[in-house]
Amino acid sequence: MRGLTPGYLIRRLGMFVLTVWLGATLIFIIPRLAPSDPVAAMVSRLLAQSGSVEGSAEMIEAWRARFGLDAPPLIQYLRYMRNMLTFNLGYSLTSFPSEVEDMVVRALPWTLGVLSIATVVSFVLGNTVGALLAWRRTPGLVRTLLPLSFTFTAIPFFMLGILLIYIFAFGLDWFPVSGAYGRALTHNWNWEFVKSVIHHGTLPALSIVVTSMGFWGLGMRGMMITTDGEDYMILAQAKGLHPRRIFWLYGVRNALLPQFTALALNLGLIAGGSVLVEYIFAYPGMGYLLYQGIVNTDYTLIQGIVFIMIMGTALGVLMIDLLYPFIDPRITYETR
Amino acid sequence: MTLTWDMQDAKSTDDRDVVLEVKDLRVHYATPLGDVIACNGISFKVYEGETVGLVGESGCGKTTTAMGVLRLVQPPGRIVEGEVLLDGVDVLSLNEEELRRVRWNQISLIPQGAMNSLNPVMRVKDQIGDAIQTHESRAREAVKERILELLNLVGLPARVYNMYPHELSGGMKQRVCIAMAIALNPSLVIADEFTSALDVIVQRVVAQTMLDVKDRLGMSMILIGHDMGLQAQLVDRIAVMYAGNIVEIAPVEDIFEESLHPYTQLLIESIPSIKERKPLKVTEGLTHDLRNPPPGCIFQFRCPYVMEHCREVEPPLRELKPLHEVACHLFEEQDGKIVDISDESVV
C-alpha cells in the first residue's frame, strides 16, 4: 500500500463521515426553515381536489403525529439521523405508501448504468482527442477535423437530446423515444432484455458523451501542451523511444493527473442523475425521480435523493484521495 | 570557410577518427519580427575519445548548436541548413525511423535541467530500461544487470533502481541522467551544462563522476557550459561561441595561456581568482540584434580593439597554428608566428 498509512486512512474515513453528517444535517434544517408546512400543504391539496375533507384539522394532527412532526426538533433530528444511518429514507409524501428507499433502489441502477458508462466514454474519448490535438505528430488532417467534435460542447445537452430524439427516434426510427426498456419485456436479465436496455440507453448516453467530451478535451489539450514543453519529453525524444510510447507513457500519463481529480468530482455527481437528460428521454433514473419529487413537493423524496447525492460525492472524493498515491507516485500520505 | 577546413586537413590531420563533423550548421528561430539567427554557420569536428567544450555567454547559441546536432531543435526553431556527420552519416538527412535508431545508440544527451528531465511518474529502472530496450532486445534479467552496473558506475546505490525521481536529490538525478546517457555506449555524448543546476559541492562530485566515467569508457563528448574553471578540468579543446558563431577554437591550454580572440580574453579575465583581488571587467556595449547581424565582425560593438576593417569584412575562422583557429582580423600568421597587426607584436 504505497503512500497510504492506517493513520491517514482513519483520518480520511473520519472526514468522510463528517462530510456526510454535515450534509445530512443541512438537509434536515433547510426544509424546516421554509415557512410552508408539508402536511398542511398536502391537506389543502386534498381539499382542492375533492372540495371538502371532513375533519381536516384532525387529519393534519394525525399526520403530523404519523410523520413524527409533533416531536421537539431535537428528537426529530435524532430520529432522522438514526433513519439515515440505517438507510431508512421514510415514506414518500405524494406516493404514499411507497417508501423512498424502494423508489431510489429502483431508479439508481438505471442512472448509474447510463451515466457512468457515458462519463467514462466521454472521459476516454475527450482526453484522447484533446491529447492528439496537442501532439505535434498528429497528422494535419486529423488535427483539423478533431476540433469539430468539440463544437457540440457549445450546445446544451438537453437541446442536443431533443435534437437526437427528433432525428434518430422520430425521423429515422432507429432508437426508442423514451423509457429504459421495452414495455412488453419483463424485468429479468436475459439477452432480449439487455439488448433492449442498451437500445434505450444509447440516445441519453450519447447526448451526454457528445456534449461533455469537449470539457475533457479542452482541458487535456492545455495540459498536454504544458507537458510537451517539459524537459523529460525532449529527453524521451533524444532517447529514440517510439513516438507512441512517448505519447502515452511520457505525455498523456503526466497530463492526465489533474483530469482524474475532475473525474472523481464528476463521478460523485452521477448518483444524483442528470435531471434534464432523464426528463427529456423519460428515463426512469434518479434525475427523473428528483424531477418528480420537486414537481410534487415530495420533501421526503427530495431529501432522500439529496442524501444519496451527498453520499455519492463524498464517496467519489474519498475514492480519488485513496487512489491518488497509486496514480501519482509523488503523492504520499506518509509522514516522514 | 572551405579554405579553412582544407588547411586544417592538410596541416593537422590527426590519426584519430572523426566522430562528429558539423558543417555550416544554421538554426533560426522564427519570431514575428523576423528570424533570430541562433546558429550562424557553425563548423567543428570532434575526434574519437576527445572532449570538446562549447562555451560562451547565455544566449550565444550553445544549446541550440547541441540541439541542432541532435536534431531536436524545438519549434519555432528550425535547422535551415548544414550537415551533421556522425560517424560519416548525415544525421540531418535521415528519415524519422533511421534517426530514432541513431539516437542514444550513437549519440546521447545529458540534459541541462536534470531536475525536470526525468519522467516524474516512472521509476528510475523503467526510464533507463526503456532506453536500452528500445534499441537492443535483451532479456529482462540482462537489462536489470546492466542498469545496476550503470548505477554503480556513476556512484549511485543499488536502491536507486526502484526509486522515483522525486525521491532523489538533484545530484543523484543528474547522475541518473549520466548513467542513462552511457547506457548504450554511444560514440558521442552531449552534456548540456550538466552541473548548472547544482550547488558547488555537488557540482564537484558530479563533475568527478563525469571524469571517471569518461576515462573508463573513452567516448567522445561535447561539454556545454559557461563555467570556464570546470571546462579547464574536463575538456581537451574549447570552442568559444559568440552570437551564434564560433569565434575561436583551440586546445584547452592554448585558450587559457594564449587566447587570441578579444572575446575569449574577456571571458578568461572574468574568471574570479582567489589569489588576487581584481576589479571585475565589464565589456561595454550590448550584443547586436540577432535578427539582423551587422556587416563585418559580429563582435565589433563590444570589441576594445575594433578597427575600421572589422566593420566591413567578416573575419573567417582561420587556423593560425595547428588546431588553433580564430575568427579575428587582429592576427596574421607570419613565418610560423602569430602577429598582432595592430602593434606588429608577436603574440
Cα–Cα distance between A84 and A304 in angstroms, integer? 9
Identity of the residue in B109, B120, B130 whose CB atom sits nearest the CB atom of A245 = B130
**Residue A277 clears pLDDT 90, i.e. is over it:** no
Whether residues B119 and A236 touch (CB distance < 8 A) is answered with yes
DSSP A279-305: HHTT--SHHHHHHHHHHTT-HHHHHHH
Range in A172-181, A300-309, B235-244, B265-274 with the lowest mean pLDDT: A172-181
Looking at residue A249, the DSSP 8-state letter turns out to be: I
Q: In what order do the strands lie in the sheet containing B18-29?
A: B36-47, B18-29, B77-86, B89-90
Q: What is the reported pLDDT for B71?
A: 94
CB pair distance less than 8 Å for A234 and B105: no
**Within a domain: A276:** yes
**Nearest residue of chain B to residue A238 (CA atoms):** B103
B325 phi, psi to nearest 5 deg? -110, 145
Residues of the domain holding A121: 100-297
Write down the pLDDT at residue A324. 86
pLDDT at B272: 77
A152 inside domain: yes
Check if A139 contacts B (Cβ < 8 Å).
no
Residue among A165, A159, A156 at smallest CA distance from A200: A165
Rg (Cα) of chain A, in Å, rounded? Answer: 25
- The pLDDT, as a whole number, for residue B92 is 93
What secondary structure letter does DSSP report for A162? H
For an interface test with B, give the residue of A235, A242, A331 to mutate (most B CBs within 10 A).
A235
> Quick check: B20 and B46 in contact, CB under 8 A?
yes
Single-letter code of the amino acid located at A174 = W
CA-nearest of A155, A273, A159, A157 to A208 is A157
Q: Which of A45-59, A96-110, B166-180, B318-332 has the lowest mean pLDDT?
A: A45-59
Q: Shortest CA distance to A175 belongs to which of A185, A166, A184?
A: A166
Residues in chain B with CB shorter than 8 Å from the CB of A253 are 119, 121
Per-residue pLDDT band at A320 (split at 50, 70, 90)? confident
Q: Would you kindly state where each structural domain of chain B is located, as residue ranges?
A: 2-106+186-346, 112-185
| CB A260 within 8 Å of CB A316 | no
Report d(CA B228, CA B273) in Å as an integer: 12
Higher pLDDT, A51 or A201: A201
Q: pLDDT category, A184, cuts 50, 70, 90?
A: low
Q: Look at residue A136 and tell me if it is in a domain.
A: yes
Domain containing residue A111: CATH number: 1.10.3720.10
In a domain, A142, yes or no: yes
How many domains, in total, are found in chain A?
1
A24 within a domain of the structure (yes/no): no
- ipTM associated with this complex: 0.87
pLDDT score at A187: 66
Q: Is A10 exposed, middle or buried (0-12, 13-18, 19+ CB in 10 A)?
A: exposed
pLDDT (0 to 100) of residue A194: 76
Lowest mean pLDDT among A170-184, A309-323, B26-40, B41-55: A170-184
Determine the distance in angstroms separating the CA of A160 from the nearest CA of chain B, rounded to an integer.
Answer: 39
Q: How confident is the model at residue A185 (pLDDT cuts 50, 70, 90)?
A: low
Residue of A nearest to B168 (CA): A330
To the nearest whole angstrom, how far is the Cα of A326 from the nearest Cα of chain B?
10
Rounded CA-CA distance A331/A321 in Å is 10
* CA–CA min distance B51, chain A (Å): 20
pLDDT in the model for residue A191: 76
Do the Cβ atoms of B162 and B147 come closer than 8 Å? no
Which segments of chain A does DSSP mark as H helices, in order?
A: 6-33, 38-50, 56-66, 73-85, 100-134, 140-145, 157-164, 191-228, 231-238, 243-245, 253-255, 257-270, 275-280, 286-295, 299-327
Give the 3-state secondary structure of chain B.
CHHHHHHHHHHHCCCCCEEEEEEEEEEEECCCCCCEEEEEEEEEEEECCCEEEEECCCCCCHHHHHHHHHCCCCCCEEEEEEEEEECCEEHHHCCHHHHHHHECCCEEEECCCHHHCCCCCCCHHHHHHHHHHHHCCCCHHHHHHHHHHHHHHCCCCHHHHHCCHHHCCHHHHHHHHHHHHCCCCCCEEEEECCCCCCCHHHHHHHHHHHHHHHHHHCCEEEEECCCHHHHHHHCCEEEEEECCEEEEEEEHHHHHHHCCCHHHHHHHHCCCCCCCCCCCCCCCCCCCCCCCCCCCCCCCCCCCCCCHHHHCCCCCCEEEECCEEECCCCEEEECCEEEECCCCEEC
Contact across the interface for A239 and B134, Cβ inside 8 Å: yes
Q: In this predicted structure, what is the pLDDT of residue B306?
A: 87
Q: Taking CB atoms and an 8 Å cutoff, what residues of chain B touch A241?
A: 100, 130-131, 134
Q: Is the separation of the CB atoms in B128 and B180 below 8 Å?
A: yes
Predicted pLDDT at A246: 93
Q: What angle do the packed helices B140-153 and B170-181 form, to 10 degrees?
A: 120
Side chain identity, residue B256: F
A2–chain B Cβ distance below 8 A for any pair: no
* Rounded-to-integer distance, Cα A168 and Cα A332, Å: 49
Q: Inter-chain contact B119–A249, Cβ cutoff 8 Å?
A: yes
A245 in contact with B, Cβ within 8 Å:
yes
Q: Out of A92-106, A234-248, B17-31, B213-227, pick the least confident.
A: A92-106
A76 domain-assigned: no
- Tell me if residue A34 falls in helix, strand or coil: coil
**What is the CA A153 to chain-centroid distance, rounded?**
18
Q: Are A224 and A130 in contact (CB under 8 A)?
A: yes
Q: What is the mean pLDDT of chain A?
A: 82
- Distance from the A136 Cα atom to the nearest Cα atom in chain B, whole angstroms: 10
Supply the DSSP symbol for A246: I
Domain B2-106+186-346 falls under CATH 3.40.50.300? yes
Please tell me the predicted confidence (pLDDT) of residue A162. 83
**What are the pLDDT digits (tens) for B97-111?**
999 999 999 999 998
Question: Above 80 in pLDDT, residue A2?
Answer: no
Q: How far is CA B54 from CA A24, B19, B209, B252, in A?
A: 68, 16, 20, 11
Q: Are A92 and A99 in contact (CB under 8 A)?
A: yes
Consecutive 10-residue runs of chain B (347 residues): their mean pLDDT? 40 70 95 91 92 90 93 92 93 93 93 86 94 90 94 92 92 91 93 82 84 86 87 91 93 90 87 75 71 88 88 89 89 77 70
Sheet holding B318-321, edge to edge: B107-110, B188-192, B220-224, B51-55, B237-242, B245-251, B324-326, B318-321
For residue B82, the model assigns a pLDDT of 94
Q: From the candidates B103, B110, B121, B162, which should be mutated to test the interface with A, based on the most A CB atoms within 10 A?
A: B121
